[in-house]
Amino acid sequence: MEVRLKTQILPAGEAAVAAAARVLAEGGLVAFPTETVYGLGADAANPAAVARIYQAKGRPAFNPLIAHVGDIAAARQIARFDAAATALAEAFWPGPLTLVLPKTPSCAVADLATAGLETIAIRLPAHPVARDILRAFGGPVVAPSANISGHVSPTTAAHVQSDLTGRIDLIVDGGPVAVGVESTIVGCFDEPMLLRPGGVPRAEIERVLGRALTQAPTDAESDSGQPLAPGMLASHYAPRAKVRLNAQRLEPGEALLAFGLGAISGIDAGSIVMNLSERGDLDEAAANLFGHLRALDSKDVGTIAVMPIPNDGLGEAINDRLRRAAAGRE
């Protein structure tokens, strides 16, 4: 991890969009806001640029990337859409949904970005800054979350800065993101499969499909032995502190990640408490999740105890990320 670049930070705006397009065209790395989390973008068709992403993040190269496009026509150039994929794209794009689809023969995305798979993950983000950058650059941009591999995903430019300064060329600061958890990933195989819960709740997707999503088994492998959702490593979102889930009381020395106004015993005047949403709103909780985890982690607590969080709506994605955070230190 010997990268030492001068990392420029620009507020979102015309100059930043032009600079981002230029850096991408030159094979550099740009962090930019999407509605889910900040992404670290590179020209998807440039293998050297894609390799730089893996290097900057310390990410294993067998973990493929999502190609971000500016419109559906661009998506159709790189992937084949069946009826389910078309219905989902029409319902949720632009927005926090990623589709895993068969690559087209003419797909220009570097093999390194898809880890040699025959499928490609595609997303059409809704954030205006992301869309402006995609339009200005004019080609697909691969973008994982803009954090060091294994860290909590960034929801502000400051999070990106603290992880990636000196490793990337440009950070476009568009303020805090709206959704706060990564996109939902659906594999459009024979049976549409939920590969990662995320910013679009499962129930909304099932309503459009008119059927239940099949569930990717944990550490799922397809018949070919390829991981179905290769990035779903058990400890993917790990803070430094231990994470203890479904806490019914706060133990001495623990910090509390609260949800709602429900009471919990063991809190005293000295307790460190952050609430994901006092009014018990799961959308607000998702938007606060990664920032609160980073903030509690920076206070050097040994353990973060987390109150129970309902599993409906964005709760499924929140609980998924929290389970991974907890698995990291068990």
Tokens of 84: 């389910």
State the Cα–Cα distance between residues 174 and 244, nearest whole angstrom. 33
Closest CB 300 distance from ligand TXA, rounded Å: 26
Closest CB 266 distance from ligand TXA, rounded Å: 35
Closest CB 204 distance from ligand TXA, rounded Å: 16
Query: Looking at 33-41, 296-304, 308-316, 320-328, which segment touches ligand TXA (CB under 6 A)?
Result: 33-41
CB 292 within 8 A of CB 257: yes
Name the residue nearer to Mg ion (CB basis): 194 or 255: 194
Name the residue nearer to ligand TXA (CB basis): 179 or 282: 179
156 binds Mg ion (CB under 5 A): no
320 binds ligand TXA (CB under 6 A): no
303 binds Mg ion (CB under 5 A): no
- Figure out which of the listed residues 34, 155, 156, 319 binds ligand TXA, where binding follows CB under 6 A: 34
Tokens 């997707």 -> residue = 205
CB 237 within 8 A of CB 153: yes
The answer to whether the bond into 94 is cis (omega within 30° of 0) is yes
Could you give the strand order of the β-sheet that contains 30-33, starting from the edge strand earlier in sequence?
Answer: 8-11, 170-173, 30-33, 38-43, 141-142, 66-68, 119-123, 97-102, 184-188, 192-196, 214-215
Element (H, E) at 290: helix 282-297
Give the contact letters, 79-98, x = binds to ligand TXA (CB under 6 A), - = no. -------------------x
State the Cα–Cα distance between residues 41 and 36, nearest whole angstrom. 14
Give the contacts of 296 (CB within 8 A, at least 6 positions apart).
Answer: 239, 241, 255, 257, 272, 274, 304
From Mg ion, ligand TXA, none, interface partner of 185 (C-beta below 5 to 8 A by class): ligand TXA
Name the residue nearer to ligand TXA (CB basis): 200 or 256: 200
* Total of chain residues touching ligand TXA, rule CB under 6 A: 28
For the segment 111-170, give every residue that binds ligand TXA (CB under 6 A): 114, 117, 119-121, 123, 143-145
Closest CB 61 distance from Mg ion, rounded Å: 15
Q: Rounded to the nearest 5 degrees, what angle is found at the Cα of 42, between the Cα atoms of 40 and 44?
A: 130
Closest CB 59 distance from Mg ion, rounded Å: 8
CB 271 within 8 A of CB 250: yes
145 binds Mg ion (CB under 5 A): yes
String of DSSP letters for 87-102? HHHHHH-SSSEEEEEE
At residue 214, the 3 state secondary structure works out as strand
- Figure out which of the listed residues 7, 46, 183, 319 binds ligand TXA, where binding follows CB under 6 A: 183
Query: Looking at 53-61, 112-120, 140-148, 173-181, which segment touches Mg ion (CB under 5 A)?
Result: 140-148
**Residues forming the site for Mg ion (CB under 5 A):** 145
Which residues form the interface with ligand TXA (CB under 6 A)?
A: 34, 36-37, 39, 63-66, 98, 100, 114, 117, 119-121, 123, 143-145, 182-183, 185, 195-196, 229-232
